[in-house]
Structure formats: C-alpha cells, structure tokens
C-alpha cells in the first residue's frame, strides 16, 4: 500500500498531524505515522536518534527507552502515556527516541542478525503487517507478553491477531485501522440514495447503487491506485481470508475467497463504479475534488477527506460491503496500524509490562487525551468514553469515533507471516493482468509460484 495521509480528525477540534502508509513510496505501514523528520519538544522525552541504554531501569530508576516515529502522533501518544503513568509513579520517565519505521526495521534486523541486542530499546513500535515477520525471523529479540497482565479480550480480536505467533502475544495493540466506507451524501441524494442504502450491504448491491450514482452524477463511487491491492486485501480480510496458511505456506491458488475478490474487483471496474488512478496523490485528489462520490479505506483516510473544508457536513461513514459467495463474509476489515513490542534487551520487563498494561491497555484518560491527534483506540473500553461520543460536524454530526471502535471489534483476523509484502506484490500483478484479459487461474498460479520462489520453495 502506498499511503500518505494526515492524521485522523475525529472530533470537532481535531487537527491533521501525520502521514500514514502500508509499504512503498517511503510511507509507513502504520495508520499512525510515517518516516518523521522533525523534532518535537513535547513531554520529557529525547528525540536524539541515538538510543540511550535501556539498562537505566535496572539501576533502580523508573526509566524506559522507546523507539517510534511521528512526533505529532505516535510520540505524542507516548508522552501522554508517560503523564498518565506518572500520576501513580512520580519517578517514572520515558526516553522516547524518534526513529522512522524504516530505521526501526533496519536496527532490529541488524541487532538480531549480529546477536547483539544491546542496541535495542525497552519498547518499540512495530507495523502490524510486519509484526509476525519480525518475531518469526528474530524470536530471540522480543519478549512474550502473554502473561504480562494485559487483558487482550478488551482489544479487537482482528487487531490483536497481528502480533500473535504460535498462540503467544508479542504486542500491545495501539492505533485503529478499521475500514470505513465514506460517501458524499449530496451526490448520493442526486441518485435518490442515502448512506442507509450503503449500510450492511453486499458488493453486488454496491455495484447496483454505484450505477445509479454514476448515471445521476457522472461520478464513479470509488477510486483506487492502479497496480496496488489495498482494496483486495481489505476485501479478503473482511471474509477472514489470508494469503498464507497457518503453517506459513502460500494460500493463493486454492484460495476461493481471493478468486471471488478478484472477480468482484473486475466487476467494479467494468461497471464504471471504480476508476483507477496512477498515484497516491491522484487517489486523494479524486475524492477531495469531488471526482468520485466516496472511498473505502482505513479510518485514517478521514483526515484527508476533511482537508476539503468546503465539504463539511456533506460526508457520512458506514461499514464496507460484504463479499457475495465467500465463506465467512462480513462488513468489516482493517487497513493499517501498529502495536507496541517489548524487546529482549529490556532490563526491567516488570516496569515495561505495568506501564503498557496501565496505559495503552488500561486508561480511558490516555485515549481521551490522544484522540484530538487522531489516535483512535482499538481498546474497546475507550469507545465508551464521552469523548468518543462527541459528534463530528464534518460527517453530519455522527459520533464517528465510537462507531469506528465498534467496527474494529468485528474485524476478522488474518495471517500475515514472513512474506506478506512479497505476496501482496504478486497479487497486485495478478489483478492487473486479470483485468487486462488473463484468466484468474493463470494469474493465481503465477502469483503463488512467485511467492514460493521468494520463500525458497
């Protein structure tokens, strides 16, 4: 995925604060960040890109070093977590080191392959889609959090699954990437439709409604970047399907859900309901300028929508369409996000566990405080907070924050594995060739052969 977005603005006073991405174009895979290059003076944290020793905690000081990116989003969340935790632990301090995602990945790989974990911090932020890859590849670098005291049942199951390996929890979920379908209500009205006509529907109904909108307005319902497979992956996860089996083998040729997804995508394009564009900027521009009547993506896309201030009150959100003919089909999926990991270099795991348990897995106050920066929780209790119930005027006064948290609790889990990005690229090529006339069977076989080659099989 190639995403460059602002941070999610979900209350009337929210501000855009970050870029997000899911691989490619130098973008981050977290809905909460991109490779940040600016300094931040917030909190008591350091932004020196050379990590301080994590061993301070072992000397009796309540200090933890954290790596993450994006001062206005992820780092801000850590500063706020520090403040919350300090209320009961006045001697506690965080040393937050601004570290772009690409650097986090490089540093983890270098430390693990050199068998020198001393360079790692106590806690680091990990892109969800890379979590399983890193723990499976470098199992000695991360701490099993299964018994750390976090109540994982309070997190969205689909979100938690990204950091579960062999039944063990290695991450504490952070930002929300639940998928939302966003629509220009004024354009729908021209076709005699409302957002209710797009709620809890199938993709067949979506195409039917889309044809009505196209006829009435001349505008497609949705745009997607050519050569990418964001929508494909969202559709697959909505039915609980993955590109890999639990044993790590490729699940492409015999993946009946993937076949349905590819056929559905082509049907959208053939009907004129979906239009492909050439770049991420063109994608964002298509709905901001009104060239299309909506979009479907991770909830962070709402930030980009809200940059068109003149369209305030003309947008609404609901859940995504479900697949027809796919076992386990739902109206919910995920795209983007990240989770916190504790490294094996942590010298005070008890402190790290308690800090994460008490803040990101235990504080509605924290999530209320970081909501204005766009950090939307996947921790279910946060959705019951009054802050999450505030209506958003841009989206017709709807309490979109609470709605999205509810969506996140219904997202099916999927398997990413070690070769997730290679598989995505192979499927993206398959989609392009299929649209251009090749058969589904041929392209799925080629895609699986490509993935197996990358896996050395």
**Could you tell me the domains of the chain?**
54-177+336-405 (3.40.190.10), 179-333+419-454 (3.40.190.10)
Give the bridge partners for 175, in sequence order: 377
Cβ atoms of residues 292 and 174 within 8 Å:
no
Q: Taking 80 as the threshold, does the pLDDT of residue 7 lie above it?
A: no
Mean of pLDDT over the chain:
87
**What's the pLDDT score for residue 298?**
93
Digit-coded pLDDT (tens) for 227-237: 889 999 999 99
The pLDDT of residue 375 is: 86
Q: Are 94 and 68 in contact (CB under 8 A)?
A: no
- 46: buried, middle or exposed (CB in 10 Å: 19+, 13-18, 0-12)? middle
Residue that wins the pLDDT comparison between 36 and 71: 71
CB 8 within 8 A of CB 299: yes
* Geometric angle at alpha carbon 9, from 5 and 12, rounded to 5°: 155
Residue with the larger pLDDT of the pair 20 and 426: 426
Q: Name residues whose C-beta falls within 8 Å of residue 237's C-beta, 6 or more positions apart in sequence.
A: 158, 333, 334, 411, 412, 414
What is the predicted pLDDT for the residue at 409?
A: 92
Tell which residue, 368, 302, 373, has the closest CA to residue 335. Answer: 302
* C-alpha separations of 10 from 84, 174, 370, 396 in Å: 22, 17, 11, 12
pLDDT more than 90, % of the chain: 80
Going through 243-314 in order, the beta strands assigned E by DSSP cover 274-277, 294-298
pTM higher than 0.75: yes
User: Does the pLDDT at position 26 exceed 60?
Assistant: no
| Residue 116: partners with Cβ closer than 8 Å, 6 or more residues away | none
Rounded average pLDDT over 51-56: 40
| Alpha-carbon dihedral angle through residues 436, 257, 296, 428, given to the nearest 10 degrees | -40
Nearest to 122 by CA among 88, 97, 149: 97
Whole-angstrom distance, CA of residue 28 vs CA of residue 31: 8
Please tell me the predicted confidence (pLDDT) of residue 373: 79
CB atoms within 10 A of CB 94: 25
Return the pLDDT at 372.
87
60 pLDDT band (50/70/90 cuts)? low
pLDDT at residue 417, rounded to an integer: 87
Which of 262, 273, 327, 272 lies closest to 296 in space, CA to CA?
A: 273
Residue in 176, 178, 162, 179 with CA at minimum distance from that of residue 377? 176
403-455: per-residue pLDDT in tens?
999 999 999 999 998 999 999 999 999 999 999 999 999 999 999 999 999 99
Q: Between these two residues, 45 and 410, which has the higher pLDDT value?
A: 410
Closest CA to 6 of 314, 288, 406, 332: 288
Q: Per-residue pLDDT for 87 more than 80?
A: yes
Percent of the chain with pLDDT over 70: 87
Sign of the torsion angle spanned by Cα atoms 181, 184, 185, 187? negative
58 sits in the region (left: phi over 0; alpha: psi -120 to 50; else beta) called alpha
pLDDT of residue 11: 35
């Amino acid at each position: 995925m190639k995403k460059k977005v602002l941070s999610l603005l979900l209350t009337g006073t929210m501000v855009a604060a970050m870029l997000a991405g899911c691989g490619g174009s130098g973008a981050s895979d977290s809905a909460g960040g991109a490779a940040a290059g600016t300094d931040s003076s917030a909190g008591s944290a350091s932004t020196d890109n050379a990590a301080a020793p994590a061993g301070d905690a072992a000397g009796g000081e309540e200090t933890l070093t954290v790596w993450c990116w994006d001062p206005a989003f992820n780092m801000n969340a850590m500063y706020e977590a520090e403040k919350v935790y300090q209320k009961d632990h006045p001697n506690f301090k965080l040393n937050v080191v601004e570290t772009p995602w690409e650097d986090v990945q490089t540093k983890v790989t270098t430390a693990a392959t050199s068998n020198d974990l001393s360079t790692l911090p106590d806690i680091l932020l990990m892109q969800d889609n890379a979590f399983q890859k890193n723990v499976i590849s470098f199992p000695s670098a991360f701490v099993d959090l299964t018994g750390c005291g976090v109540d994982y049942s309070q997190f969205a199951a689909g979100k938690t699954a990204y950091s579960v390996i062999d039944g063990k929890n290695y991450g504490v979920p952070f930002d929300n990437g639940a998928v939302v379908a966003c629509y220009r209500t004024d354009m729908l009205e021209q076709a005699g439709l409302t957002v209710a006509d797009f709620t809890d529907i199938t993709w067949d109904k979506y195409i039917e409604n889309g044809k009505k909108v196209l006829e009435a307005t001349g505008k497609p319902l949705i745009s997607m970047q050519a050569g990418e497979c964001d929508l494909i992956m969202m559709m697959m996860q909505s039915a609980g399907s993955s590109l890999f089996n639990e044993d790590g083998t490729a699940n492409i040729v015999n993946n009946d859900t993937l076949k349905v997804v590819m056929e559905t995508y082509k049907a959208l394009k053939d009907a004129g309901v979906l239009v492909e564009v050439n770049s991420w900027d063109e994608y964002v521009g298509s709905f901001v300028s009104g060239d299309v009547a909506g979009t479907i993506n991770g909830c962070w896309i709402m930030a980009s929508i809200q940059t068109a201030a003149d369209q305030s009150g003309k947008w609404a959100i609901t859940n995504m369409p479900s697949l027809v003919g796919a076992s386990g089909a739902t109206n919910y999926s995920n795209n983007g996000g990240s989770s916190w990991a504790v490294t094996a270099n942590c010298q005070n795991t008890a402190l790290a566990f308690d800090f994460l348990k008490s803040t990101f897995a235990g504080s509605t106050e924290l999530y209320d405080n970081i909501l204005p920066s766009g950090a939307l929780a996947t921790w279910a209790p946060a959705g019951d907070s009054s802050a999450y119930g505030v209506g958003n005027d841009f989206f017709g006064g709807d309490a979109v924050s609470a709605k999205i948290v509810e969506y996140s609790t219904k997202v099916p889990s999927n398997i990413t594995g070690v070769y997730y990005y290679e598989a995505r690229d192979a499927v993206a090529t398959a989609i392009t060739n299929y649209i251009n006339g090749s058969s589904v069977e041929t392209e799925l076989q080629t895609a699986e052969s490509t993935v197996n080659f990358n896996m050395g099989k």
